[in-house]
């Protein structure tokens, strides 16, 4: 039995801190080889795909398509915003998105999104996984975990999926190897990456726990023990890697930080650029507050300013570094907002609306200056180019060289397609 009580108070605190942080379960001297052997190798289904990484800008709450991407100035519920021209001939978007407008020649709008779920939790699940919550009694993996599995490199010391600003949907039946690393505050990065003891002492403690776990596994064999070891191995990997500096925003210049903005979201977007530049294939950054049942126009105006400054800086930064063609940047939420303005309260808003809405995709093999889909004069019904959640995810997979028809097995050996058979990629937006 481990003599925990014989340790000093400082040592006990350190042991518990490292345990809770998930740094044990594999020898520090052999952690990388063990983890790689356990996970197996992963290579892209199509290495010729242009997109090698994806940054998902998640507008949590459901952003108003009619006040951002698909303005209808002559309609009944037009609202307060004016459309402006973009660098793509014939495409106009909100006046409060001038940065996006200046870069639309690199992007495509899908204005024909029409999805099945109108409640936040179910709609978020649907748009992240392509499946409806509870369907088939399976917990499905999110697109971030799918990319981590199909494109990520097992020998890479950083996690292949990072979620910044909010807890994203995870790996589902794919297991803990493909879970996202959650960064709640980008300004603080990932804390606890440096052990408070020397390298030799740290390795001894890791080896000690490995021995304890091996003994426990001998008596109580279970799959979740391997999952536990995998989680700890990932943490040790992160602690010992030089690439973990990608999480440290202090290494960016004041000029660069100013270009992105000072909000936590802006810091998250800047971190996303650092992470994909280092080699992480999927990063999700959340900007909340888009559930605008009340005071829609003031809130959307302010949120659009935060969004526009950070993401336009990101696109320009990627372009200047030669990374835009290989990085897919998606801006979307779980659904749109009602074309008509509600009459509740002194400051009316817009309600949930999955029937017709829009999202934006830039870089990463996307056909620039293109619009797919069209809504009616009120922005209420998709008249052309209807696109559902499965179609969208099949498109993302195709852009990233992933075979969306591939089947992965659940723990019970049940084969599940990456994208349900109803989904087809929107080929028109692929360059």
Same domain, yes or no: 240 and 341? no
Same domain, yes or no: 236 and 262? no
What DSSP string describes 125-188?
HHHHHSS-TTGGG--PPPHHHHHHHHT--TT-SS-SEEEESS-----GGG-GGGPPEEES-TTT
Look up residue 6 and give its DSSP letter: G
What's the total number of domains in the chain? Answer: 2
Q: Which residues contact 130 (CB under 8 A, 6 or more apart)?
A: 140, 143, 389, 390, 392, 393, 394, 418, 419, 420, 423
pLDDT above 50: residue 289: yes
Same domain, yes or no: 239 and 265? no
Does 110 map to a domain? yes
pLDDT above 90: residue 393: yes
Does 45 map to a domain? no
Mean pLDDT of 246-260: 96
Measured between alpha carbons, how far is 268 from 184 in angstroms, rounded to an integer?
A: 9
Same domain, yes or no: 240 and 266? no
- The pLDDT, as a whole number, for residue 29 is 30
Residue 304: which H helix or E strand, with range? helix 296-320
Does 75 map to a domain? yes
Quote the domain boundaries for residue 128.
51-185+254-429
Q: Which residue has the tokens 């028809």?
A: 405
Residue 274: which H helix or E strand, with range? helix 264-278
**Phi-psi category of residue 342: left, alpha or beta, with phi > 0 → left and psi -120 to 50 → alpha:** beta
Half-sphere exposure of 413 (CA within 13 A, CB side): 0
Same domain, yes or no: 9 and 107? no
pLDDT above 90: residue 57: yes
Q: Convert the pLDDT of each residue in 311-355 to its tens digit.
A: 999 999 999 999 999 999 999 999 999 999 998 778 999 999 999
Same domain, yes or no: 287 and 354? yes
User: For residue 285, what is the domain's CATH number?
Assistant: 3.40.720.10
Does 132 map to a domain? yes
Mean of per-residue pLDDT scores for the chain: 85
Same domain, yes or no: 314 and 424? yes
User: How many residues are recorded in the chain?
Assistant: 431
Q: pLDDT confidence of 391, banded at 50, 70, 90?
A: very high
Q: Which residue has the tokens 């349900």?
A: 420
Same domain, yes or no: 213 and 92? no
- The pLDDT, as a whole number, for residue 310 is 98
Q: Are 119 and 133 in contact (CB under 8 A)?
A: no
pLDDT above 60: residue 17: no
pLDDT exceeding 90 applies to what percent of the chain?
A: 71
Residue in 398, 301, 401 with CA at minimum distance from that of residue 48: 401
Does 62 map to a domain? yes
Same domain, yes or no: 136 and 258? yes
Q: Convert the pLDDT of each residue in 74-127 to its tens digit.
A: 999 999 999 999 999 999 999 999 999 999 999 999 999 999 999 999 999 999
- The pLDDT, as a whole number, for residue 167 is 78
pLDDT above 80: residue 26: no
Same domain, yes or no: 159 and 210? no
- The pLDDT, as a whole number, for residue 346 is 84
Same domain, yes or no: 281 and 368? yes
């Amino acid at each position: 039995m481990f003599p925990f009580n014989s340790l000093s108070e400082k040592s006990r605190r350190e042991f518990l801190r490292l345990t809770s942080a998930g740094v044990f379960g594999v020898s520090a001297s052999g952690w990388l080889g063990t983890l790689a052997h356990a996970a197996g190798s992963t290579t892209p289904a199509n290495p010729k795909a242009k997109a090698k990484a994806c940054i998902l800008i998640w507008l949590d709450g459901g952003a108003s398509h009619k006040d951002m991407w698909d303005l209808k100035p002559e309609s009944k519920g037009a609202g307060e915003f004016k459309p402006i021209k973009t660098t793509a001939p014939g495409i106009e978007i909100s006046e409060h998105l001038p940065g996006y407008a200046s870069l639309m020649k690199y992007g495509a709008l899908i204005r024909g999104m029409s999805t099945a779920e109108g409640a936040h939790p179910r709609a978020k699940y649907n748009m992240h996984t392509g499946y409806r919550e509870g369907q088939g009694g399976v917990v499905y993996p999110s697109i971030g975990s799918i990319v981590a599995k199909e494109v990520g490199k097992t020998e890479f010391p950083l996690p292949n999926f990072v979620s910044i600003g909010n807890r994203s949907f995870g790996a589902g039946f794919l297991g803990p190897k493909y879970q996202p690393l959650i960064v709640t505050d980008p300004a603080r990065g990932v804390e606890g990456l440096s052990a408070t003891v020397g390298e030799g002492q740290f390795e001894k403690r890791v080896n000690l726990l490995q021995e304890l776990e091996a003994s426990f596994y001998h008596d109580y064999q279970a799959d979740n023990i391997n999952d536990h070891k995998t989680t700890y191995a990932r943490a040790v990997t992160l602690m010992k890697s030089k690439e973990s500096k990608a999480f440290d925003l202090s290494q960016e210049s004041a000029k660069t930080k100013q270009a992105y903005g000072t909000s936590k979201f802006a810091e998250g977007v800047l971190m996303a650029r650092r992470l994909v530049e280092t080699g992480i294939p999927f990063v999700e950054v959340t900007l909340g507050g888009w559930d605008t049942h009340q005071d829609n126009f003031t809130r959307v105006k302010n949120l659009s300013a935060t969004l526009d400054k950070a993401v336009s800086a990101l696109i320009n930064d990627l372009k200047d570094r030669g990374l835009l063609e290989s990085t897919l940047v998606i801006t979307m939420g779980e659904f749109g907002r009602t074309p008509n303005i509600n009459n509740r309260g002194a400051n009316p808003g817009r309600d949930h609306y999955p029937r017709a809405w829009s999202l934006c995709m830039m870089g990463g093999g996307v056909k620039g200056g293109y619009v797919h889909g069209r809504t009616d004069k009120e922005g209420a019904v998709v008249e052309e180019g209807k696109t559902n959640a499965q179609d969208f995810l099949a498109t993302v997979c195709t852009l990233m060289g992933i075979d969306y028809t591939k089947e992965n097995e659940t723990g019970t050996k049940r084969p599940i397609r990456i994208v349900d058979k109803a989904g087809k990629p929107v080929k028109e937006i692929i360059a």
